[in-house]
């Protein structure tokens, strides 16, 4: 099977050390909000032991006319090439994959507990849900050290302010290190923070997304809060 190619349209810094990349959507390509894609560099100028392919969540919503991924720009060959890539460069796209997608029963709220770059599927899912008027109530808790580190912060805050169905709760664990004033939540996501917004902690379907350590910490928190294992869905970003 020949995989489709896509090409870079635009790149943008969206938080400190964090970039978003927009790609052309191949004709006929469809996906569900929350799914991911494997991107492969074609004849890159350098490579390393981890190879030329990475999986990134499609942070774009399916209705948007482009594909987008966002990532922390660590010093690996793949990311150096991605960062320096001229607009128009082609990559191979193997997608869509994954089942980190919204549940069907709209009587149950969706509660996302995310850290750092783990916000990528939330952007896609929240925007698509609003667009479709899906009827879901979405609560997204997003933990970062400082506002400067939080990808899509302003966009998600605006979405939460404009849409009754979306409650966005960003929290900063090191606001004292920030040059930006912060009046929102501080500290790690915990039972008290979640309970301010969710009265019945057994009602939601929980979605955990981010680096492996974050997902493990949130799973253990939910267990202590009495959530049922069957109501917890996870997407671990291996490699962090």
Residues 75-104 that bind ligand FAD (CB under 6 A): 76, 78-79, 98
Least separation in angstroms between residue 118's CB and ligand FAD is 8
Q: Which two tokens stand for residue 166?
A: 């979306």
CB 225 within 8 A of CB 191: yes
85 vs 151: CA distance, rounded Å: 21
Tokens of 21: 């990349």
Residue 142 within binding range of ligand FAD, rule CB under 6 A: no
Neighbours of 223 (CB within 10 A): 12
Q: Which of residues 7 and 79 has its CB atom nearest to ligand FAD in the complex?
A: 79
Q: Does 141 help bind ligand FAD (rule: CB under 6 A)?
A: no
Nearest residue to ligand FAD, by Cβ distance, number only: 239
List 45, 46, 74, 190, residue binding ligand FAD (CB under 6 A): 74
Give yes or no for residue 197 binding ligand FAD (CB under 6 A).
no
- Comparing CB distances to ligand FAD, the nearer of 100 and 193 is 100
The residue range among 9-17, 69-77, 176-184, 223-231 that interacts with ligand FAD, by the rule CB under 6 A, is 69-77
x/- binding map, residues 15-54, to ligand FAD, per CB under 6 A?
---------------------x-------------x---x
State the Cα–Cα distance between residues 149 and 127, nearest whole angstrom.
21
Compute the C-alpha angle 217/17/64, nearest 5°. Answer: 85
Q: In the range 106-135, which residues lie near ligand FAD by CB under 6 A?
A: 117, 120
Instruction: Give the CA radius of gyration of the chain.
Output: 18
For 63, residues 6+ apart whose C-beta sits below 8 A from its C-beta are 127, 128, 131
What pairs with residue 24 in β-bridges? 66
Whichever of 168 and 237 has its CB closer to ligand FAD, that residue is: 237
Can residue 171 be called a binding residue for ligand FAD (CB under 6 A)? no
Type and span of the H or E element at 144? strand 138-144
Which residue carries 């009754």 as its tokens?
A: 164
Binding site for ligand FAD (CB under 6 A): 36, 50, 54-57, 69-72, 74, 76, 78-79, 98, 117, 120, 235, 237-240
């Amino acid at each position: 099977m020949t995989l489709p190619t896509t090409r870079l349209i635009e790149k943008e810094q969206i938080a400190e050390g964090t970039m978003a990349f927009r790609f052309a959507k191949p004709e006929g390509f469809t996906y569900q909000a929350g799914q991911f894609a494997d991107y492969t560099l074609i004849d890159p100028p350098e490579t390393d032991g981890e190879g030329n392919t990475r999986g990134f969540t499609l942070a774009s919503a399916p209705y948007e006319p482009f594909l987008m991924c966002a990532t922390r720009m660590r010093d690996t060959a793949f990311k150096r090439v991605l960062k320096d890539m001229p607009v128009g460069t082609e990559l191979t796209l193997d997608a869509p994959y994954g089942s980190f997608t919204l549940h069907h029963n709209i009587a149950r709220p969706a509660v996302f507990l995310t850290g750092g770059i783990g916000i990528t599927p939330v952007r896609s899912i929240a925007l698509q849900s609003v667009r479709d008027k899906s009827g879901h109530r979405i609560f997204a808790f997003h933990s970062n050290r400082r506002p400067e580190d939080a990808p899509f912060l302003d966009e998600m805050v605006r979405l939460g302010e404009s849409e009754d169905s979306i409650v966005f709760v960003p929290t900063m664990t090191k606001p004292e290190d920030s040059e930006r004033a912060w009046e929102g939540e501080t500290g790690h996501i915990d039972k008290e923070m979640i309970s301010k917004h969710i009265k019945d902690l057994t009602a939601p379907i929980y979605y955990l997304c981010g680096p492996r350590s974050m997902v493990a910490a949130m799973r253990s928190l939910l267990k202590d809060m009495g959530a049922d294992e069957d109501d917890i869905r996870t997407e671990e970003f291996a490699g962090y």
